[in-house]
Amino acid sequence: MSKIAAGLERAFAKGGFAEPSVEALRDAAGVSLRTLYKYAPSRADMVLVALENRHQRYLSYVFVGLPKNTEDATNAILVRVGTWMTEEASHGCLFHAAVAADPNSDPLRRFLERHKAEVASKAATATGLVAAETELLMIIEGLTQVWPLKGDAAVDAAKRLSHALRVSLR
């Protein structure tokens, strides 16, 4: 299943959510059409499978193996988000793109909410800024939105904002 999920994620990340045909999705997943439909019976299910794969990869990439020092962990998270944007998401957040492609989909909206809630919770725990979960999410989300325009300068700005947040909470 992980091979299928990874292939679907790559296909949607490259071609968007309207572009890839079912045949292209099958080819990206590297399985027969019958096998693809066995694991994801509809195009909507294929999108959710791809997003779940992306979600797990993102959480692992950003939050596994962080420094113990909370300020160092904060900086590491922001650098990793910037690197993720460089390597994986140069066109922006795939989760927001999925909702934009199908704005009336309740499952996609719930998935987006779950993804962002988990990011916020993990960031707050890792940084010791549990009382500032929403503020941290805003900094991370702002970074992902500004990164395509400003690149590393967006990472530096996010670091300054997170430092100011930490100082304001003392």
DSSP codes joined into one string, 81-103: HHHHHHHT-TT--HHHHHHHHST
Is residue 126 assigned to a domain?
yes
Task: Give the structural domain span for 146.
Answer: 51-168
> To the nearest whole number, what is the mean pLDDT of the chain?
95
- Domain count within the chain: 1
Residue tagged 């020092």 (tokens): 69
**Exposed/middle/buried for residue 143 (C-beta within 10 Å: 0-12, 13-18, 19+):** buried
Task: Say if residue 90's pLDDT is above 80.
Answer: no
Average pLDDT in the 49-67 region? 97
Average pLDDT in the 72-77 region? 98
Note the pLDDT of residue 91: 73
CA-wise closest residue to 78 among 32, 126, 113? 126
Token pair, residue 95, equals 């989760």
In this prediction, residue 19 has a pLDDT band, given cuts at 50, 70 and 90, of: confident
Average pLDDT in the 76-95 region? 91
Is residue 154 assigned to a domain?
yes
Is residue 63 assigned to a domain?
yes
Is residue 5 assigned to a domain?
no
Average pLDDT in the 71-91 region? 93
Q: What DSSP letter does each residue of 31-70 carry, written as one string?
A: S-HHHHHHH--SHHHHHHHHHHHHHHHHHHHHHTT--SSH
Is residue 13 assigned to a domain?
no
Task: Say if residue 1's pLDDT is above 90.
Answer: no
**Exposed/middle/buried for residue 167 (C-beta within 10 Å: 0-12, 13-18, 19+):** exposed
Q: pTM of the predicted model, to two decimals?
A: 0.93
Task: Say if residue 48's pLDDT is above 80.
Answer: yes
Is residue 41 assigned to a domain?
no
Note the pLDDT of residue 41: 96
Is residue 99 assigned to a domain?
yes
CA distances from 146 to 9, 33, 45, 81, 86 (A): 23, 39, 30, 12, 12
Is residue 10 assigned to a domain?
no
CATH label of the domain that carries residue 63 = 1.10.357
